């Protein structure tokens, strides 16, 4: 139910998100996150195990392809550990922008029939996926035990990079979900875009393998620094702080831009969707 005195009038220009309103609707956000977690693996045999299986299978296949066939060695850690540490944030990011970008269109009926801060739909989706990321981190711990790989104090950085991954995913997720309402092209472009992005993210190869004149591509990639950061925090691998700083700056800008852009398009959602 709305606040005590409410004034409805056309909005002008670019406006930030109304934080007070989001606070009013906090229970809704909670229930939406909880719904997204509950229904994601409903009527599946393996349930939450999929959160672990996705990066695990990817790790095995890529390990075979890149390690054995393409011959990428000397990554500073056992190749499966190296890959899995990168796949944790990457899988989260890829799923997040995929699911978030369809979150509004998928809730068309709700948007047409009732008011609530629309930003909650993509955000709830991303929050629910963050839980998957935590589950796969448990798997990562298991792998590290298996390989007897020691943890370092760098592990303290992990929450920072978890946060950074959420920031990058939310920024892009907000942007794409709003755009998808107007242009369904987004639905077709996102999987393709994600696939392209995978190649310019150092998941399967170390940054050191990228020729110097191509490094700028990594610097422009908000998730590249997060992948590097995860690896640093989990495995104590050396890290390019320039890349990390660049990625964090980009993620923050992306998030803010995403919020404003979302707010701008929000007013037409019910008419256009």
Does position 108 bind another protein by CB under 8 A?
no
Q: Quick one: which of 20, 74, 109, 192 contacts another protein (CB under 8 A)? A: 109
What whole-number distance in Å separates Cα of residue 177 and Cα of residue 259?
11
What whole-number distance in Å separates Cα of residue 217 and Cα of residue 107?
35
Q: What is the dihedral of CA 63, 66, 68, 71, to 10 degrees?
A: -140
Q: How far is the CB of 192 from another protein (least distance, A)?
A: 13
Does position 68 bind another protein by CB under 8 A?
no
Site residues (CB under 8 A) for another protein, limited to 9-28: 9-11, 25, 27-28
Does position 160 bind another protein by CB under 8 A?
no
- Specify the DSSP class assigned to residue 151: P
What whole-number distance in Å separates Cα of residue 188 and Cα of residue 118?
22
Q: How far is the CB of 268 from another protein (least distance, A)?
A: 6
Does position 45 bind another protein by CB under 8 A?
no
Residue 101 near residue 177, CB atoms below 8 Å: yes
What's the 3-state SS for 226-259? HHHHHHHHHHCCCCCHHHHHHHHHHHHHHHHHHH
Q: Taking contact as CB under 8 A, which single stretch among the options 33-41, 156-164, 200-208, 219-227 is the one that binds another protein?
A: 33-41
Residue 103 near residue 158, CB atoms below 8 Å: no
Q: Taking contact as CB under 8 A, which single stretch among the options 53-61, 160-168, 181-189, 225-233 is the one that binds another protein?
A: 181-189
Q: Quick one: which of 15, 18, 39, 142 contacts another protein (CB under 8 A)? A: 39
What whole-number distance in Å separates Cα of residue 67 and Cα of residue 64?
6
The nearer residue to another protein, 5 or 153, going by C-beta atoms, is 5
Binding site for another protein (CB under 8 A): 1-2, 4-11, 25, 27-28, 30-32, 35, 38-39, 42-43, 107, 109-116, 182-185, 264-265, 267-268, 270-272
């Amino acid at each position: 139910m709305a606040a005590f005195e409410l004034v409805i009038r056309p909005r002008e220009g670019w406006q930030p998100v109304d934080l007070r309103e989001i606070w009013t609707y906090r229970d809704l956000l909670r229930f939406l996150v909880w719904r997204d977690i509950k229904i994601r693996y409903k009527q599946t045999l393996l349930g939450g195990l999929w959160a672990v299986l996705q990066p695990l299978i990817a790790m095995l296949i890529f390990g075979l392809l890149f390690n054995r066939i393409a011959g990428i060695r000397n990554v500073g850690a056992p190749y499966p550990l190296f890959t899995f540490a990168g796949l944790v944030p990457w899988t989260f990011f890829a799923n997040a922008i995929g699911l978030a970008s369809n979150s509004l269109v998928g809730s068309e009926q709700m948007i047409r029939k009732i008011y609530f801060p629309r930003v909650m739909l993509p955000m709830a989706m991303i929050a629910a996926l963050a839980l998957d990321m935590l589950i796969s981190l448990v798997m990562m711990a298991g792998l590290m035990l298996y390989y007897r790989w020691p943890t370092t104090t760098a592990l303290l950085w992990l929450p920072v990079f978890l946060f950074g991954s959420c920031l990058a995913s939310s920024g892009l997720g907000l942007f794409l979900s709003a755009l998808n309402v107007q242009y369904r092209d987004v639905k077709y472009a996102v999987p393709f875009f994600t696939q392209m992005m995978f190649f310019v993210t150092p998941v399967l190869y170390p940054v050191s393998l990228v020729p110097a004149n191509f490094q700028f591509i990594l610097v422009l990639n908000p998730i590249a620094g997060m992948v590097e950061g995860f690896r640093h925090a989990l495995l104590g691998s050396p890290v390019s702080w320039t890349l990390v700083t660049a990625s964090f700056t980009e993620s923050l800008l992306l998030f803010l831009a995403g919020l404003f852009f979302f707010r701008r398009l929000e007013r037409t959602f019910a008419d256009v969707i």
